[in-house]
Amino acid sequence: MSVLASPRADAGAAADIVRRRLSRRGTDLGGRLFEALLLLMLLAGLGVLGWLLTVVTVNGLPTLVERGGDFFTSGLASRPERAGVAQGLTGSLYLMGFVAALAFPLGIAAAVYLEEYARDTALTRLMNGVVRNLAGVPSIVYGLLGLAIFVVALGDVLGPGRASGRSLLAGGLTMAVLVLPIVIITAAEALRAVPVAIREAAFGVGATRWEVVRHHVLPYAAPGILTGTILAMARAFGETAPLIVVGAVVGGFNLAYDNPLEQLFGRYTALPTTIYDWAGNPPEFAGNVYAAIVVLLVVLLGVNALAVVLRNRFDRRW
Amino acid sequence: MNPGRRRREAAVRLGFAAAALLAVVISAAIVLTLVGEAWRFASQVDPGLLLERGWFPRRDLYGIPTILAGTLTIAGIAMGVAAPLGLGSAIYLSEYAGTRTRALLKPALEVLAGVPSVVLGYFALQVISPSLVDPLCAGPTDPYTMGAAGIAVGILVMPLVASVAEDAMHAVPASLREASYGLGARRRTTSLRVVLPAAVSGIVAAIILGASRAIGETMVVAIAAGGLGGSLFSLNPCGPGQTMTAAMTALATGSDQVRGAGLAFPSLYFVGLLLFAITLGLNVAAGRIVHRLRERY
């Protein structure tokens, strides 16, 4: 800063500086650089996604095209040209069925209780906290729970005989427990988004709490609940670690069953566990791994897109 | 109200309450099984052995520092990737991006978050390891490296960090930004000196949650970090290593023999309890911090 002679000259100089600053053209170069850096960080993450999708498609599609339908009808095999995802896909579909049949009704009922029935007591707060923290438990810990309870303690009932406890039933129950907190949290959010006025209007004409929930709150919350449950399905479809712990087949195994019931009590594998198994095989299996990843990603992206479409279609602003 | 209606009302209420209680029962079951089996292990194993270096369950060597070191190395690398990328993305999305850019980029981040970890694990082993880790480590390394696993876990965790941090910045009232602009501050100054400090607790929570996810991440590490069948104590990102989660999958797939008479089976639960305690602690801490943020505005 320059030393100035008099207050008057001081003011004049200051005005001059301000005038110069205000009339200055050009862009804020540092600001632009900063913005570019931020965008670069975001694109770095998305770039890896693009890189991954490219690598997977380039390496997976040829195998998929070459094998055609055969890839979907053959099962686990030790030679790559004969190995396919039939058993993995069936197993994964069964697991999603378990999630839909067990976790959805239970999760939605729990959410309805927490949001619509429970008063703000210490117990309610405890339950809310427990659900929140359950959602953050690493999935492999759920595998340990399933191993101790469904495989070891209830093994004789759920997976008798040669399955030695490691049955599809045990895997399905573990998956249902795993997604339960996610279903509760998303359903509770959807219920919370329904305005209180709707409930008050229904109570005002003499409806009971169940009637309010059944006829007014649930219909409005249904799209949100549906989106959440679809995302929970996707999670169950891609989850691997807990299935490995509760003994989904990793490695060669004969998995032929005469009927669905026998399948339920027998050993199984899923699509992601098949990928994990093949990933540890010799390099000749690389084509198979990439092809199976293509199948997995197509299903997952399809399911996610469905959720986004539903959310946009039914999204309601109050 | 007629008695039938009243009875139905009570029955429905009971049903819902039972479903909600199930969540509490499940968490109680998790804690009880983990503690019970872990205790069985802890009471049988020689405590001195737990502090040895090296994790070789088949030889009855259960060096907890070894798998802790692997876990911290990989989580450290992952956060080195996820924290800057996630925060940068959050600032961009919250302060710079227009509505249309946001509508495009946010779903893309959600897709990245939805990529299953087996897929990223295989990608880490086949692509990240040869093309990123080898040059960084100067020379051809073992294809199984903690570096490749760490980078992949970081990419996996980055959308979570970005999303939680962006929520926190979004919650900063617009009046703070307007005041800053009114004083003549530029957008960069406003973002870094006004919005970022105001959202700091949410950002800290985002990083803690990210770290918790990185520590609990299993499949990437099981596929790309090596360490099946045991591992020496190592902090070297250019070499293989063993984490708590990968040690658990190795124990469970039988490559380290779970169903024998030995201690390998209960050791699985001991490691699980340790992992559960660490991640729960981090999650609770993050929840506390977020809660404090919510009270201030």
Closest-CA distance of chain B to residue A270, Å: 12
pLDDT for position A5: 54
Among the residue ranges A9-13, A54-58, B209-213, the one predicted with the least confidence is A9-13
- Per the CB < 8 Å rule, is A110 touching B19? yes
| CA atoms of A161 and A266, how far apart (whole Å) | 9
B7: chain A residues, CB-CB within 8 Å: none
Closest-CA distance of chain A to residue B19, Å: 5
Flag whether pLDDT at B231 surpasses 90. no
ipTM, 2 decimals? 0.89
Flag whether pLDDT at B6 surpasses 80. yes
| CA atoms of B176 and B182, how far apart (whole Å) | 10
* pTM across the whole model: 0.88
Q: How far is CA A277 from CA A234, A286, B52, B217, in A?
A: 21, 11, 31, 18
B166: chain A residues, CB-CB within 8 Å: none
CA-based nearest residue in chain A for residue B95: A35
- Per the CB < 8 Å rule, is A49 touching B112? yes
Which residues touch A128 (CB under 8 Å, ≥6 apart)? A114
- Per the CB < 8 Å rule, is A142 touching B30? yes
Flag whether pLDDT at B162 surpasses 60. yes
What percentage of chain A carries pLDDT values higher than 90? Answer: 43
Encoding tokens for residue B287? 């929840």
Best mutation target, B8, B21, B118, B294, to test chain A (most A CBs within 10 A): B118
| CA atoms of B231 and B71, how far apart (whole Å) | 12
Q: How confident is the model at residue A95 (pLDDT cuts 50, 70, 90)?
A: very high
Best mutation target, A22, A52, A132, to test chain B (most B CBs within 10 A): A52
**Tell me: the pLDDT tens digits for B34-62?**
898 888 888 888 777 778 788 887 777 88
Q: Shortest CB distance from A44 goes to which of B85, B216, B284?
A: B85
Closest-CA distance of chain A to residue B2, Å: 11
Best mutation target, B40, B253, B282, to test chain A (most A CBs within 10 A): B253
String of DSSP letters for B128-190: IIIIIIHHHTTS---S--HHHHHHHHHHHHHHHHHHHHHHHHHTS-HHHHHHHHHTT--HHHI
Flag whether pLDDT at A1 surpasses 60. no
B12: chain A residues, CB-CB within 8 Å: 210
Which residues touch A79 (CB under 8 Å, ≥6 apart)? none
pLDDT for position A317: 63
A275: chain B residues, CB-CB within 8 Å: 118-119, 122
